[in-house]
Amino acid sequence: MRYPDKPPPAGYRLVPELAAGFPRISDHGRTYRFRLRKGVRYNTGAVVTGRDIAHAINRILDPKMQSPVSASVTDIVGAQDVLDGKAASPSGMTATRGTITFDSRTRTAPSS
């Protein structure tokens, strides 16, 4: 998901980028499942997968990397364990070739 390069108000609305659409939200707003858009490839021609995204998030959380953006993914269950060096991957993140799912420790506010 990303914000488009457009003036407000369109520039304030998230749009899918790697995702095929908005996530499927379940568990009272705690679980987000993204299906990846087909045909997204690296410059090498290799297909971008959910596992690639999980790998990138694991690198962001790796304490050796000291990534300044790690705070943006700490709502994923187990992310703090990775930052603390107690785990290699957050327990609340699962990935397949075509999907990535995040379990959050916080509940989103209900939309009206």
Polymer length of the chain: 112
Instruction: Count the domains in the chain.
Output: 1
Q: Write the CATH number for 95.
A: 3.90.76.10
Question: Does a structural domain hold residue 57?
Answer: yes
Alpha helices in 1-112 (DSSP H): 50-61, 79-83
Residue 107: predicted pLDDT? 53
Question: Does a structural domain hold residue 91?
Answer: yes
Question: Does a structural domain hold residue 61?
Answer: yes
Q: What is the pLDDT of residues 64-112, one digit of tens each?
A: 999 999 999 999 999 999 999 999 999 999 999 999 999 998 655 444 3
Question: Does a structural domain hold residue 8?
Answer: no
Could you give the CA distance from residue 54 to residue 100 in angstroms, rounded to a whole number? 7
pTM, rounded to two decimals: 0.86
Question: Does a structural domain hold residue 109?
Answer: no
Question: Does a structural domain hold residue 66?
Answer: yes
Domain span at residue 42 reads 13-103
Contact 103, 77 (CB under 8 A): yes
Question: Does a structural domain hold residue 112?
Answer: no
Residue 105: predicted pLDDT? 80
Q: Which of 44, 22, 24 is nearest to 32 (CA)?
A: 24
Could you give the CA distance from residue 87 to residue 94 in angstroms, rounded to a whole number? 14
Question: Does a structural domain hold residue 30?
Answer: yes
